[in-house]
Amino acid sequence: MTDIPQITDSHCHLDFPDFEGELPEIVTRATDVGVTRMVTICTKLRQADAVRAISEAHAPVFWAAGTHPMSAASEPLVSADDLIALAAHPKMVGIGETGLDYHYTADSADVQKTSLRIHIDAARQTGLPLIIHARDADEDMAQILAEEHRNGAYSCVMHCFSSSPELGRAALDLGFYLSMSGITAFPKSADLRDIFAAAPLDRILVETDAPYLAPPPKRGKRNEPAYTAHTARRAAETFGLDYAEFAAATQANFDRLFSKAAAYKEAA
């Protein structure tokens, strides 16, 4: 085990029904291939207790909480105080996922923007990284992220980044991070890989977004944290690195951005 490069699945959804009754095995399969940490994401605050419990039951698992933009109109509007209270938990390490999604839910754009700004305020106050979901909303996303950053600095990762080069550059210019999901390993994702190849290596994370977006050779199957290794091996090629070098870089990046998780690991 000590000879296997260690990586972190920075974004998964272990509370989803897809994993019911299998979590011990799923976590074990991940750690067996070097995925030694996982951040499971709560997308509706009413599910926070269940997500927190997963982190408490499994040593390698941390959690984050927020209201997903596609649920912003159907869930109660979150408050910064709600998120700050959740952040008191020792394994709660990020704010979100939040963001803007105009692909299916453009009609709720106004409430999505309000929710996003609330999450940014909570990230700013807690010092925890903001976890952003962006889909078909590049112009508004870039504008809000920059405007809010001028109002007060905060840290951020663009989760499962698959947007335009312009949004990627805007995020990087603010000091933010881009996360590589299984999409980046798809054969037809050469343009997306080019965006990442042009980004600084010290701003790159890897993730699954499990149970979605399984990378080759698991494409079409239920994704799980262990498959982060497949995405990371393909990502290493994008950066012209061997796997161990790339894994070490992304571990350092995760520790820098998710410093609360890194400190917890050191104190454990």
Strands 177-180 and 156-158: parallel
Going through 34-152 in order, the beta strands assigned E by DSSP cover 35-42, 61-65, 92-101, 130-135
Are the C-beta atoms of residues 221 and 172 closer than 8 Å to each other?
no
Taking alpha carbons only, the member of 133, 55, 150, 50 closest to residue 97 is: 133
Q: How many Å from the N-terminal Cα to the C-terminal Cα in the chain?
A: 19
Q: Could you tell me which residues are annotated as the binding site?
A: 11, 13, 97, 133, 159, 209
Q: How many CA atoms lie within 13 A of 175 on its CB side?
A: 9
Secondary structure of residue 137 in the 3-state scheme = coil
Structure tokens at 226: 């262990």
Q: Which residues pair with 39 in a beta bridge?
A: 62
- Report how far residue 244's alpha carbon sits from residue 176's, in angstroms, rounded to the nearest whole number: 24
Q: Could you tell me which residues are annotated as the binding site for a divalent metal cation?
A: 11, 13, 97, 133, 159, 209
